[in-house]
Amino acid sequence: MAAVGARHVLTDPDLRAPYEVDWTGRWRGACRAVVRPGSTEEVAAVLRACTETGVPVVPQGGNTGLVGGSVPVGLPGAVVLSTRRLAGLDPVDEAGCVVAGAGATVAAVQQHARAAGWAFGLDFASRDSATVGGAVATNAGGLRVLRWGPARAQLVGAEAVLACGAVLSRVDGPVKDSTGYDLPGLLCGSEGTLGVLTRVRLRLVPPLPDRRAVALVGLGTVAAASPLLAALRQRLPGLAAAELIGAAALALGAGRGVQHPLPGPWPAYVLVETAGAGALDDLAAALADAPGVGDAVLAGDAADRARLWRCREEITPSISAAGVPIKLDVSVPPPVLPEVWAALPGVLPGGAELILFGHLAEANLHVNVLSVPDAEKDATTGAILRLVANAGGSISAEHGIGRAKARWLGLTRSPAEVAAMRAVKSALDPSGLLNPGVLLA
Ligand code: MLT
Ligand code: ZN
Question: Which numbered atom of ligand 1 lies nearest the CA of 143?
Answer: 2
pLDDT digits (tens, 9 = 90+) for 88-110: 999 999 999 999 999 999 999 99
The residue whose C-alpha atom lies closest to atom 7 belonging to ligand 1 is 316
> What does the pLDDT read at residue 23?
87
Residue 169 burial (CB < 10 Å; 0-12/13-18/19+)? Answer: middle
Separation between Cα atoms, residue 370 and residue 355, nearest integer Å = 8
CA 143 / ligand 2 centre spacing (Å): 7
pLDDT digits (tens, 9 = 90+) for 112-121: 999 999 999 9
DSSP code, position 208: P
Model confidence at 130: pLDDT above 70: yes
Question: For 42-46, which contacts have Cβ atoms below 8 Å and span 24 or more sequence positions?
Answer: 42/2, 42/3, 42/4, 43/81, 43/83, 43/86, 43/161, 43/196, 43/198, 44/2, 44/161, 44/165, 44/166, 44/167, 45/1, 45/2, 45/3, 45/4, 45/165, 46/4, 46/79, 46/81
pLDDT digits (tens, 9 = 90+) for 49-68: 999 999 999 999 999 999 99
pLDDT digits (tens, 9 = 90+) for 286-304: 999 999 999 999 999 999 9
Separation between Cα atoms, residue 271 and residue 125, nearest integer Å = 15
Question: For 170-179, which contacts have Cβ atoms below 8 Å and span 24 or more sequence positions?
Answer: 170/201, 171/99, 171/199, 171/200, 171/201, 172/99, 172/201, 175/95, 175/97, 175/203
Model confidence at 385: pLDDT above 80: yes
Cα atoms found within 13 Å of the Cα of residue 168, Cβ hemisphere only: 20
**DSSP-assigned states of every residue in 116-139:** TT-B-S---TTTTT-BHHHHHHTT
Separation between Cα atoms, residue 307 and residue 313, nearest integer Å = 10
Cα atoms found within 13 Å of the Cα of residue 72, Cβ hemisphere only: 26
Q: Across residues 183-200, what is the average pLDDT?
A: 98
Residue 176 burial (CB < 10 Å; 0-12/13-18/19+)? Answer: exposed
User: What is the pairing mode between strands 239-246 and 212-219?
Assistant: unpaired
Q: Across residues 216-230, what is the average pLDDT?
A: 97
> What does the pLDDT read at residue 285?
98
* pLDDT band of 441, cuts 50, 70, 90: confident
Model confidence at 305: pLDDT above 90: yes
> What does the pLDDT read at residue 256?
61
Within 8 A by CB and 6+ apart from 5, the residues are: 38
Lowest mean pLDDT among 131-145, 248-262, 361-375, 425-439: 248-262
Phi-psi map region of 142: left, alpha, beta (phi>0 left; psi -120 to 50 alpha): left
> What does the pLDDT read at residue 258?
60
Separation between Cα atoms, residue 338 and residue 223, nearest integer Å = 5
Q: Across residues 123-141, what is the average pLDDT?
A: 97
> What does the pLDDT read at residue 24?
84
Q: Does the beta carbon of 314 lie inside 6 Å of ligand 1?
A: no
Angle at 432 between CA 165 and CA 25, to 5 degrees: 100
CA 163 / ligand 1 centre spacing (Å): 31
The residue whose C-alpha atom lies closest to atom 9 belonging to ligand 1 is 316
Q: Across residues 373-399, what is the average pLDDT?
A: 97
User: What is the pairing mode between strands 155-161 and 79-82?
Assistant: unpaired
Q: pLDDT above 70 covers what percent of the chain?
A: 99
> What does the pLDDT read at residue 2?
80
- Cα separations in angstroms, 368 against 140, 190, 254, 362: 18, 24, 17, 18
Cα atoms found within 13 Å of the Cα of residue 410, Cβ hemisphere only: 7
Q: Specify the pTM.
A: 0.95
Model confidence at 1: pLDDT above 60: no
Q: Does the beta carbon of 316 lie inside 6 Å of ligand 1?
A: yes
CA 366 / ligand 1 centre spacing (Å): 7
CA 358 / ligand 2 centre spacing (Å): 6
Separation between Cα atoms, residue 163 and residue 418, nearest integer Å = 21
Q: What is the mean pLDDT of the chain?
A: 96
Among 23, 64, 66, 146, residue to substitute to test ligand 1 (most atoms within 8 Å of Cβ): 66
Q: Across residues 226-241, what is the average pLDDT?
A: 97
